[in-house]
Amino acid sequence: MSREDVINPEHEALLADSVAARQFASRARRRVQRAAPHPDADLRRQREVVDAFLAAVRGGDFDGLLAVLDPDVILRSDRGSGAPREIRGARAVAEPALFYSRLAQAVRPVLVNGAAGIVSRLPGGQPSSVMGFTVRHGTIAEIEVFGDPERLRTLDLTALNE
């Protein structure tokens, strides 16, 4: 029997701990990489990006819309029923957005919980839908669409001058 054939319990325990630690570290790195960076703090820059988004939607400019959307953009919508719906990717978000060019004519800029957004209001002034945008590195990384009346009541909306 050679020295390599002898099982050393201490060595086996150290090896097992090392493998478990590497797995934990690897998982932690993946979580950190997936964690979203902070949105752009410059509200004026956020507004410019959202205005470019609206201009592209209103003008039916697909390439312009792709240019303002992060390639990995995420659109989440409560669809007015409280059940969230999610769309991922610039093309997947841009294609249906162009169908709403007519509706985009009537929206107004607002701050949605302190970030750039837009609101569409009912004739009595109540919001019918709200879009909140997360702008990172000069592109739209996330869009939250709120249509559920219960959720709309919880949003802090501040009107902006156009």
Give residue limits of the domains in the chain.
3-34, 43-159
* pLDDT score for 35: 52
- The whole-angstrom separation of Cα 13 and Cα 17 is 6
Contact 98, 65 (CB under 8 A): yes
For residue 96, pLDDT beyond 90: no
User: pTM of the full predicted structure?
Assistant: 0.71
Higher-confidence residue of 34 and 49: namely 49
For residue 31, pLDDT beyond 70: no
pLDDT class of 128 with cuts at 50, 70, 90: confident
For residue 68, pLDDT beyond 80: yes
Query: Spelled out in words, what is the top-level CATH class assigned to the domain 43-159?
Result: alpha beta
* pLDDT score for 107: 87
* pLDDT score for 65: 94
Mean of pLDDT values over 17-29:
61
**Pairing between β-strand 139-146 and β-strand 69-77 as defined by DSSP bridges:** parallel
Distance of CA 36 to the CA centre of its chain: 9
Give per-residue pLDDT as tens, 43-61: 899 999 999 999 999 999 9
* pLDDT score for 14: 66
Any idea what the Cα angle at residue 43 is, between residues 54 and 60, rounded to 5°?
Answer: 10
Q: Kindly report the length of the chain.
A: 162
